[in-house]
Amino acid sequence: MKNISRILVGGGIALSLVGCFNEPPNLYQNMPRPTKIMRTPLETPLIPTSLQSAPASTPYSNYLIELTDVVFEGEVLKSNSLYLVNFYAPWCGPCKLASPIIEEIAGKYHGKIKVGKFDIGRNGSLIDKYKLNAIPTVKFYKDGEVVDELVGFGLNYKDVLELRIQDIDSKK
């Protein structure tokens, strides 16, 4: 997996592309070549200052289970209950926005479902095995199988997660 992080500067316009892709998209095939390419580490961060620090823990933080390569199979794949796993990275801006929502879901549905978080930066061996193409990715596991997944972060994220949980629960 390649981590792409560049600033393309040309003609006084700065365009940034930050993401995590297996194959980088060819977004710039018809654009003139940039006059200057800077690679990470960058002097000026691409993530706004408000998102750079770790989010403050919420009252629901205690309901999240920290998952690693070592415990993933035993904790998630051998679980009989519905398991929501948030695949994230600490440097990912959208992941930081999704984190408090995931924590709130963990608190709200505590006892009904299990909610875990998996840092792909520290535990990278499962990235290819579980076909993680982008982050944040939330996968729903039931009886060791992926029954649903949500890739990315967007409007009404909390509502979408709750609807998917209710939909999976209704299929018992």
Q: Which domains does the chain have, with CATH numbers?
A: 2-46 (no CATH), 52-170 (3.40.30.10)
Average pLDDT over residues 7-30: 45
Looking at residue 44, the DSSP 8-state letter turns out to be: S
Residue of 20, 64, 89, 92 marked catalytic: 92
95 as an active site residue: the answer is yes
Residue of 20, 95, 102, 132 marked catalytic: 95
Q: What CA–CA distance (Å, rounded) separates 25 from 23?
A: 6
For the segment 55-95, what is each residue's pLDDT rounded down to a tens digit?
A: 555 666 678 889 998 899 888 998 888 999 999 999 999 99
92 as an active site residue: the answer is yes
Strand partners, 149: 139
Q: Which residues of 57-70 are buried (b: 16+ CB within 10 A; e: fewer)?
A: ebebeebbeebeee
For the segment 24-45, what is each residue's pLDDT rounded down to a tens digit?
A: 455 555 555 555 555 544 444 4
Looking at residue 76, the DSSP 8-state letter turns out to be: I
Average pLDDT over residues 99-121: 92
Closest-CA residue to 117 (of 157, 65, 169, 46): 65
Other C-beta atoms lying within 10 Å of the C-beta of residue 42: 13
